[in-house]
Amino acid sequence: MGKNHPNVDAYVVSRVRALESLLLEKGILAPDAVDRVVQQYEQDTGPLLGARAVARAWTDPAYKERLLHDTTGALADFGLKYDALIVVENTPEVHNLVVCTLCSCYPWPVLGLPPTWYKSPAYRSRAVLEPRALLREFGLEIAPEREIRVWDSSAEMRYMVLPMRPPGTEEWSAEQLLPLITRDCLIGVAEPLVPVAAAP
Amino acid sequence: MNGIHDLGGMHGFGPVEREENEPVFHADWERVMVAIQRDTWTRGVFTLDEFRHGIERMAPARYLEATYYERWLEGITRLLLEKGVIAAEELHERETFFAEHSEAPATAPIATPLPPTRPRLPREQISSIRPQTALPRFALGDAVLTRHDAPPGHTRLPRYARGKRGVIARYHGVHVFPDTNAHGLGEQPQPLYSVRFAGEELWGANAEPGQVVYLDLWESYLEPANEQR
C-alpha cells in the first residue's frame, strides 16, 4: 500500500521548491539547512552510533549496565546528547520489537533515518497485532516460549534493541563485532549477523 | 482523533514490502523536505504535536496513497497556511515559477537579500520533558484502565488500546501533553508512563501467545483498574 517510489505528481516537486524558497526568504529555513541534512544523513556514513554502543556493551559489562540504566550518560561517551532513548535488552526469555503505529517515530540520533518499510501501513498495523507472524516473514523465527515485547513509541521516548551477542564471538573485539550489528537487529526485525567462522 | 493514521491492529495491508539496499533519500525534494521539517519545528513555527496533527487531518485515501515525505509536505503546507506564515497566493505564484523553471535555485525568485534565520528554540523547550510539578498518581505495578473516549483532536492513545487494562511498567517523568499542545491550548505537562498490555487484552482470542505491547501514555489517559476490570 502507498507508494515507495518517487513517481510523485509533478506538483510535489514544485511545491517543495516553492516552500523552500519562501521559507528561505522569510528567514525560517537556514541557507545551509539542506546541506546539513545531506551531511548528517548521507555523507557521515560511519557505523551507526547505536551499533557502536551495542558493540561496546557486548565487550564491556560495566558499559552494558550504563547503556541499560543510564542511557543518556552512556551515549554521551560517544559525544551524543540524547536523553530520550530507552534500550531494551533481548534475552533467552524476551525478544523486543520497536514500532510507531501512529506516525513512524524512530530514534534518529542513534539509527539515522528510518527505512521506508518501518513507516509503511503494513508494518505499523501488524507489528502490534501479529509480531510473531511478521517476524517470520522477515526470516526471524522466535521460539514459542519467548515473550515478544512490542514497544509502540507513542510519546517522545525512543526505543532501541540491545540484541544478544552471537555465539562463537566471545573472543571478538568491539571493532570486530561492529559489522554484525545491523540496523534491522536494533529495531528488532532481525538478529545480528552470524559470523561465517567462529574464530575471527 | 479516530483517524486513518491510527493504524495499529488494522488488517488488510499485506506483507511488509522492503527495498533492497534502499537509499536514504529517493529524490532531492525529500532532502529538502527533511530540512524544512527540522527548521520549521525547531525554530518554533509550530510544535511537533501540531506537526503530527497536521498530517493526521489528511483525507484518509490521500494519507494511504501518499509516500511518507508527501505526508510531511501536505501537513506542513496546511500548517504554514493556517498560521499565516505563507499566503496561498504567494505559494501559488512560487509554485508556478518552479514548475516553469525547474532548474532554478531556490533563491532565484527572491528579490531581496536573505534575512538572518530566526533562532532555534532552546534545547529544553524542544525536549518534551518538563519539571516535575506534581506527583505521579500511579506507581510501578499499578493496574490501570485506559479511557475509551473518542476525542476529535490529537491524542496519542491509539484506538486499539482504548478501554484496555494494563500495568504501569515505568515512569518517564513529566512531559508536554500532546492533546493540548497540538491545538494551541498550552503544554499542560503531565506524568507519562510506560504501560504494559497483554496480547489477549488487546486482541482477545486472536492474540498470538506470548505477546505483550508497551505504550507510553499520559496520566489523563489512565484510570485505576478495579478487580473486575
Say whether both A38 and A116 belong to one domain.
no
Residue B168's alpha-carbon distances to B193, B195, B214, in angstroms, are 7, 5, 10
The DSSP annotation for B62-107 comes to: HHHHS-HHHHHHHHHHHHHHHTTSS-HHHHHHHHHHHHH-TTS-TT
Q: Which whole number is the average pLDDT over A100-111?
A: 96
A70-109 burial: b if 16+ Cβ within 10 Å, else e? ebeebbeeeebebebbbbbebeeeebbbbbbbbbbbbbeb
- A105 catalytically annotated: yes
Tell whether A198 is covered by a domain.
Answer: no
Cell of B68: 511518507
Say whether both A126 and A162 belong to one domain.
yes
Give the tens place of pLDDT for each residue, B61-95: 999 999 999 999 999 999 999 999 999 999 999 99
Contact between chains at A117 and B17 (C-beta distance less than 8 A): yes
Q: Which whole number is the average pLDDT over B201-214?
A: 97
So what's the pLDDT on residue B134?
Answer: 81
Write down the domain spans for chain B: 1-114, 129-224
Confidence of residue B129 (pLDDT cuts 50, 70, 90): very high
- Domain B1-114 belongs to what topology? Cyclin A; domain 1 (1.10.472)
B157–chain A Cβ distance below 8 A for any pair = yes
A128–chain B Cβ distance below 8 A for any pair = yes
Please give the radius of gyration of chain A, using alpha carbons only, rounded to the nearest integer: 19
So what's the pLDDT on residue B227?
Answer: 64
Cell of B183: 491545538
Range of the domain at A182: 49-187
Judge if pTM exceeds 0.80. yes
Q: Which whole number is the average pLDDT over B177-197?
A: 98
Cell of B121: 528554540
What residues contact B165, with CB distance under 8 A and at least 6 apart?
B143, B144, B145, B146, B197, B201, B225, B229
The closest alpha carbon to B106, from B94, B91, B93, belongs to B94
Say whether both A80 and A170 belong to one domain.
yes
So what's the pLDDT on residue A2?
Answer: 41
d(CA A51, CA A181): 6
The CA distance from B227 to the nearest CA of chain A, in Å, is 25
The correct answer on CATH 2.30.110.10 for the domain covering B129-224 is no
pLDDT at residue A176 is higher than 60:
yes
Confidence of residue A1 (pLDDT cuts 50, 70, 90): very low
Contact between chains at A117 and B208 (C-beta distance less than 8 A): no
Q: Which whole number is the average pLDDT over B31-42?
A: 97
Confidence of residue A44 (pLDDT cuts 50, 70, 90): confident
The closest alpha carbon to B194, from B223, B175, B165, B171, belongs to B171
